[in-house]
Each structure stands twice: as C-alpha cells, then as structure tokens.
Amino acid sequence: MIELVYVFIAYFTQLLAIMNPFSVIPTFIALTEGLKDREIESIVKKATFAGLFIVVLFATLGRYILEAFNISIAGLRVGGGIILLTIALDMLGEEVRTKKVHPGDIAVVPIATPLIIGPGTMTTILLLVSSKPGDIVNQALVLIAAIVACLVSFWILRLSRVLVRILKMSTVRALGRFMAVIIAGVAVEMIVYGIRTYYIELFLPLTSK
C-alpha cells in the first residue's frame, strides 16, 4: 500500500510539473482581464471539465492509441522527451505556450488546451499508462494522479489573482521557471532511457552476433 502511495505521488508530481499552472497565470490573467469574478469562475469550471475529459481519454485509451499508430515505448519516450524539453525551454525563455488566441470561448481553447493540458501532458499520460501494459492498478494510479493534478492546476488558476496579490508576479514567474527546470530534467531522463532501450532491444542483439 505504501509503495502505491509513493507511485501515486511520483505520477502526480510529474504531471503537475508538466501542466505547470504557475507559468500559465500571466497568460490567464491577460485573457480574463476586465471580466467579473462570476465570469472567470464560469470559464475555469468549463476549462476544468474539458481538461478532465482529455486526461481521462488518454489515461483510459492510451494503450489503444499506441497500438493504433504502432508506436513503441522507446519511440514514445524519445519523442515525448523532445516535446517536454522544447516546452521547458520555451518556459525558461518566457515564451507564450500558445502563439495566438482566437476569439470566442477561451475556456476550452486555449486555457484547457494547450495551456494546461498540452502535448507534453498527453504524451506523459500515454507513457505512464504504457510503462506497464495490462496493469489495471497502474492505469488506475495514472488516471487518479492525472485527475488530481488537473483539478489542482485549475484551482490554482481560479486563485490566480489572489496568488498574484499575495506572492507578487515576480514570485509566480519564479515558480513557473522552477517547474520548467523540473520538466527539463524529466525530459532528459526520458530521452536517455528511450535511446538506451532502443540500443538494448535493436542494436545490442546485432552486435552480439
């Protein structure tokens, strides 16, 4: 039981770092500038439901998505690691994670995705689910961790104006950069492990002949 708790904490921490709600706060405040608290609350609620739908979809059907596209775990690790590393570098360089905001309903796009649930989050969920194929307990842990991380992220956005008043914008930006460093570390580990797996499974048997 204790081991499952440790695994859940590891999954939750990794997913929350990749969602990185602190880095989204400046963009969220800019998008909702001039809106009333009731309107902001409505946007966050709608974004939360959209985000939950995405994480549940990838956590429950991740294995089938990999099989449909014939993607190996090693390939997913390398590709996902590159995506995460790119996102981390963008965050450290203070790049906006969505280049253009389209008018209309901002709750789903761009707040739910790609600001919170971006390609890095989707890839990580797929990777965690696929790390133990057929393991229902592991899939349940990924699903619960993803749901909790999603709820915490949108709760942080809901309190964004309060956090900015208390912590100041500079502190919020610093927290976002710290999370970006964590993401960069996770990305490098994924890339190295993926390349190592490729070497062991594909190249090592050839060299031993």
Q: Residues, the chain, total?
A: 209
3-state SS string over 125-185?
Answer: HHHHHHCCCCCHHHHHHHHHHHHHHHHHHHHHHHCHHHHHHHHHHHHHHHHHHHHHHHHHH
Q: What is the pLDDT of residues 37-89, one digit of tens each?
A: 898 999 999 999 999 999 999 899 877 877 888 877 788 788 878 877 887 78
Count how many Cα atoms sit within 13 Å of the Cα of residue 193 in the half-sphere of its side chain.
14
- Report whether pLDDT(162) > 60: yes
What's the mean pLDDT when you consider all of the chain? Answer: 84
